[in-house]
Amino acid sequence: DLATLSQQLTANPKVANLKDNTGWTPLHLAASQGQKEAMSLLLSSGADANAQMENGQTPLHLVSLKFSPLRPDLAPAEALIARGADVNARDIDKTTALHLAAQANADALAQLLIAKGADVNAKTEAGYTPLHLAAVGAAPAPGKDWVGKLLVANKADVNARTTEEKYTPLHLAAGFGNEQIVAYLLSQGADLNAKDYEGATPLGLAKRHGHKGVAKFLSERGARE
């Protein structure tokens, strides 16, 4: 509890940065559980906001994983950033907090991260940008817009390609059958006939995965297989 934590930190401030054998610190634990008061206490006691676990994740990665678009609470992320958390920190897969926010369709968190300097075109080890992950991520919360619109408004590359498969965000949106995202990406200049590593176009992927509505939509706009 907080009282015990406070006593421990007063007795030995080094407690704030103790690590277990996987690199977890008390701040990682508090961040993963959304414990705002414990996070504040640890940060004010000198906890390293950029401490990395064995897998490279920082407390900001964990806050982003925990973030709920249905109950958006930016306080944990704001507290970390105020104490110097690097918004572009990468884990061992080169995933950033913005990748995680995009995948979760957490537009409020994505907006905060971008405002604080997050790279909208950061690529994971496999070459995925936040926009790639938004194209296949969670549906928007009721009454919320798709997070990809925020990314594109902040200069996300609509034709970015993954490293090996050479997928564009449009390939992924078509392959997952998301017609609204397909339409939006096309309106923003996505290449209708981009080819992946096998020579497949977005139309080809929509057909392969049985998404007839998306296939029809693409065909009507002159798409080729």
140, 137, 121, 139: which is closest to 129 by C-alpha?
121
CB 118 within 8 A of CB 155: no
- Is 151 part of a structural domain of the chain? no
Residue numbers of the domain that contains 107: 2-118
131, 79, 80: which is closest to 102 by C-alpha?
131
CB 147 within 8 A of CB 118: no
Q: How many domains does the chain have?
A: 1
- Is 99 part of a structural domain of the chain? yes
Give the whole-angstrom CA distance, residue 179 versus residue 209.
13
Residue 210 has phi, psi (to 5 degrees) of 75, 25
pLDDT tens sequence for the chain (225 residues): 899 999 999 999 999 999 999 999 999 999 999 999 999 999 999 999 999 999 999 999 999 999 998 889 999 999 999 999 999 999 999 999 999 999 999 999 999 999 999 999 999 999 999 999 999 988 888 888 999 999 999 999 999 999 999 999 999 999 999 999 999 999 999 999 999 999 999 999 999 999 999 999 999 999 999
DSSP collapsed to 3 states, 119-156: CCCCCCCCCCCHHHHHHHCCCCCCCCCCHHHHHHHCCC
Pair of tokens at residue 40: 């504040």
Give the whole-angstrom CA distance, residue 149 versus residue 151.
5
- Is 61 part of a structural domain of the chain? yes
- Is 183 part of a structural domain of the chain? no
